[in-house]
Each structure stands twice: as structure tokens, then as C-alpha cells.
A and B are shown apart, each in its own frame.
Chain A
């Protein structure tokens, strides 16, 4: 497994280091935010503030930036991340039924995370596998032709997996 460059604990010096590495001045901030999201799984406020001060921007400006992109997360995800594709093909073939079933099964909060912290469910727009619609992505694994009735089995299977 690839070792994350940034961890939530070692933020400050890592942002500095990363800043030097990123060559393109115009894309620095967004690239660093991408890296943080990749390594930590979300963008902690402390790191965002660090990026802001390194870039000489107001923290509020970065709040606006992060909120603009729906794929940036500001809170940790559950252990399993389930992305339901809401692209046109998947939508037409019943993505909302799958999503609603997941919401019901997992009792998600406003952030899409279940109370036990095991699952986070999000809606994404086209994962690029429209021929297999409706598609969901479970922990980076694409599953096609999903039926809403399969959701409870899937959830049970994920609950029973031990790492």
C-alpha cells in the first residue's frame, strides 16, 4: 500500500513540504487539497488553515473553494465508502431506489454517515461504467447491475468483514 504523504497529526510541516514540491503556482492550492483528501480521507480544518496561511489567502476564501466542489469532504468518512452513481444512465435505471434503500438500511445522518461510523454513502455523477448501470462503488470496487433488493445483503456482508 502507498504510504500517505500527509497524516492528520503531522499536518503543518507536511503542508510546507508539499508546497515546495508542487511546481505549478496556479494549481498549488487545489493540488494540495486533493492530496490531503486522498491521504486523510477528508480535509481537516487545521490543515485547511495551514494551506491558507502558506498560500497567503484568507481561510474564508478556502472555505468557499472547498464548499464549491461536492467531492471535498470536511468530516471523516465511515470505514466503508459507498458511492451511488447518479449519472443519467444509472439514474434512469434506478439509482435513487438503491440510494433510498441504503439511507433506510443505514440510518444516515446529514453527512451521509451511519451512526455506528461504519458506512458513508455519497451520490456521485457518472463513474464511467454506464453499460453496467445502475452502478455503485464500494470501497473503490465497482459493482454493476445492482438491485435495490440486494442492498441489505451487501450491508450485512460489509458488516461481517473483519480487517
Chain B
């Protein structure tokens, strides 16, 4: 297992090179917030909470830690005003997809929003938030893709994203011979960060390509 030295918040750390930065840092006890990352499924970059700043030729630039592979000499900052502000913005957008059955998620997001506001005041547009909450066909789902990816990983592949853009939704695709089987493994239910999949994927995800 190859290790490399990286500089995290001005401290030199030796981390594993073969895993995404977010996981390498977790193993060193540095916990970045994230909702869409899982160590078995790899980086996905959808929630935007694990953002860090890295030093590039063009100066400090924000990157998703889950999509970043550690390299020798990589300089990372996890706590700058820019990072906190970007996290707060991502958290605010995610909160609009609520309310969430798991209250911890709302607490985490609320906390990140607050931390960002200390560095840069961005007033919450209450009206826009209410509008996007009202127009959301699946409140509680943040479209992180964990359920779709785990279902594919375990080779059941009963879940998919339907549509695109603001109409993007997760859909359950039934199969005749598996009609009774789905709902028993509960892999998607266990991996869902917000607790949306209840009581089963079939019932939680209403969108269907074929009615």
C-alpha cells in the first residue's frame, strides 16, 4: 500500500495514495462533511460538502475531496473562509430538498450554513427556498445517487436516475421475476443518508418511465 506525504492545513501527513483524499483523511482522523460519499462506492461529487482548497499553478482552487486522489506534495486546506462559504452554499441548496426524516442531516446542514455565514453573509432567499421546496416531487431525497450505485454494485440494478436537470428523479424499475424479491435486501435503505427510502425503494421512488 503506497503512501504519500501531503500537506493538510500546514501539517505534513502521510496518507494512502490509492483511495480518494476524503477517505485518506478520514483514516487520519480528519473528518470532512459529506452525504454522497461511501468508501465502497467511491467519489461522486454530488453533495458538494467535502469541498477543500488545493494549491495549483493558478493558486488556491476549490475541489471535491471525494474526487481527488492524493499525490505527493499536495497542499490542502480544509477550513478557509472560501471552503466554509462553499460548504454553506451547498448545504443551503441541499436543505431545499428537505425536510429529511433523519434530523441529524438537517442539523449538519444547518450547522454548515451557520459556519459559512460567519465568513461571508449570504442572506437566505426564503421565497425561493419555499418555492423550490413546494415544487419538489420527492422531498427528502437529495439525489446523491448512493442508492442507485449500491443497487448496481450488488448487481440488482433496480434503480436509475430518470430525466435530467430540475426534473431529475430516482426511479424504481420493477422486473417480473423479481417482483417479490426487491425490498428484502434493504441495501439502498441502509445507505440512504437522509432516511428517504421508507418503507421500500418501490414505494419511496414514485417516478416511472412506464406508468
Q: CB within 8 Å of B: which residues of A?
A: 45, 58-61, 63-64, 66-68, 74-75
A44 — nearest CB in chain B belongs to which residue?
A: B210
- Among candidates B161, B175, B210, residue contacting A64 with C-beta atoms closer than 8 Å: B161
| A68 with B157: CB separation less than 8 A | no
Contacts of B160 in A (CB 8 A): 58, 60-61, 63-64
Q: Do residues A67 and B175 form an inter-chain contact, with CB atoms below 8 A?
A: no
Q: Is B173 an interface residue (CB 8 A)?
A: yes
Interface range on chain B (Cβ under 8 Å from partner): 10 to 19
Nearest CB in chain B to that of A57: its residue? B157
Nearest CB of A to B63, in Å: 27
- The winner among B158, B163, B175, B210 for most chain A CB atoms within 10 A is B210
- What 7 pairs across the A-B complex have the smallest Cβ distances? A58-B157, A64-B160, A60-B160, A60-B173, A67-B162, A63-B209, A45-B210
B161 neighbours in A (Cβ, 8 Å):
64, 67
A–B complex contacts, Cβ < 8 Å, 9 sampled: A58-B157, A58-B173, A61-B157, A61-B160, A63-B209, A67-B164, A67-B209, A74-B209, A74-B210
- Give the CA-CA distance A143 to B209 in the complex, in Å: 32
Cα-based distance from A102 to B173 in the complex (angstroms) = 33
Q: How many A-B residue pairs have CB under 8 A?
A: 37
Other contacts beyond A63-B162, A67-B161, A68-B163: 5, CB < 8 A: A58-B157, A63-B209, A67-B164, A67-B209, A68-B164
Which positions 142-194 of chain B face chain A at CB distance < 8 Å? 152, 157-164, 171, 173, 175
Provide the bound-state CA to CA distance between A45 and B159, in Å: 16
Q: Shortest beta-carbon distance, B22 to chain A, in Å?
A: 26
Contact between B173 and A67, CB atoms less than 8 A apart: no
Q: Are B163 and A60 in contact (CB under 8 A)?
A: no
- Closest B residue to A110 using CB positions: B211
Cβ–Cβ contact A60 & B159, under 8 A: yes
Chain B residues within 8 Å of A61, by CB: 157, 160
Known contacts A63-B162, A64-B161, A58 near B210 by CB under 8 Å: no
Chain B residue numbers with a CB within 8 Å of A68 are 163-164
A59→B175 CA distance, assembly (Å): 9
Q: In this complex, what residue of B is CB-closest to A111?
A: B211
The one of A58, A63, A75 that contacts B171, using a Cβ cutoff of 8 Å? A63
Residues in B whose Cβ lies below 8 Å from that of A63? 160, 162, 171, 173, 209
